[in-house]
Chain A
Amino acid sequence: MIPSTKPPKHLKMRPPVAVAAERTEDLGPPKIEIRALNFYYGDVRSLHNITMSLADKSISAFIGPSGCGKSTLLRVLNRMYGLYPRQRAEGEVLIGGRDILGPNVDVAELRYRVGMVFQKPTPFPMSVFDNVAFGLRLGGGIRGAELKSRVESALRDAAIWDEVKDKLHADGRSLSGGQQQRLCIARAIAVKPEVLLLDEPTAALDPISTLRVEETLQALREKYCIVVVTHNLQQAARVSNVTGFMFMGELVEIGPSSRIFTSPQDRRTDDYITGRFG
Chain B
Amino acid sequence: MAVKFTNDVTLSKSGFLFDHASGQTYTLNPTGQFIFRLLEQGEESERVLPQIVAEFNVSESTARKDLDDFLRQLHELGITE
Is B one of A's binding partners?
no
| Residues of A that sit less than 8 Å from B by CB | none
